[in-house]
Structure 1
């Protein structure tokens, strides 16, 4: 379907859809259109750059601008190469934990406590399908101690204040056999990233 040349397209990880829609609604960003790629791509990050390129190629010239709501996300710079070739721009950071927490804050968290397993609202909601099942812990729970031998805590970076999600995150930490901590980040850098998307004003 052709895009609106007055609008901005955001190509996003499906794990960020809820947050992006909430930001757009709260900030009157009606000129932003969202197209999400499957969150499961994170299990094979080498496929992210080509998936993003495919959408850019399909929509080139149909929008005023194209933004990419992915961090590097384990692509080893391959996503940035695609963006350099196509002129699209992405949010800063190595992964969503960094841009939710803030880049310097995340670096401090890493330096302060090695061996941290991070959760976001999305990962809490989809803990079984994004963590337990891909790791095979539902079929072989004894693998938990092997996978997480070098982890000491779960840190839940919460985008919303939701007691049910907090309880589920604590359950996830118990299932992994790790201590639980929580920090409320809100949407981090994402709000400014989307807010900077230029809105076309007809002349």
Structure 2
């Protein structure tokens, strides 16, 4: 079976196998309906983190994307995603669905394993661009992993790259994808790793500010 972690060229125009994990039935139904309208397959709908973890461990049911609530019936949603990555020994593109009151907690998680979020109540129209965003960020993370051997280093590098993208977006009015392409171009021309280019941009920005 081909997953996004194995096939980096996959796009949101393809049918994706998506797991929805959320404790609230209304939110689950909104997400399921929206995914079907987009042409994606709901691989499973679960309410407990332990079920999500077991599914990720099963090589016959590995999802392309996970959409999880911040709180599940038996554990924290971010903790469940982290454990999924550990037991499956691979990373999954993950979207967290959260109340606005818990947004600061999710924004902190964005620095590590979570790559995008949706605010409750979920708007169907926001799901498609969010899936696109999480897949784009996942590809970027896979590229960073290819440049280093250590997962922890790749996560730290991702934090630098996200900060550098934000600086380029702010200073040059670029989209997130264009900011990342500029980083790639600089890394290629300077023959440096993406993280090294990102560090230079972050350091320069701090100096000017």
- Which has more strand, going by share of residues? 1
Structure having the higher helix fraction is: 2
Q: Which has the higher contact order (CA 8 A, sep 6+)?
A: 1
Q: TM-score with structure 2 length normalisation? A: 0.35
TM-score when normalising by structure 1: 0.36
Q: Bigger radius of gyration, 1 or 2?
A: 1
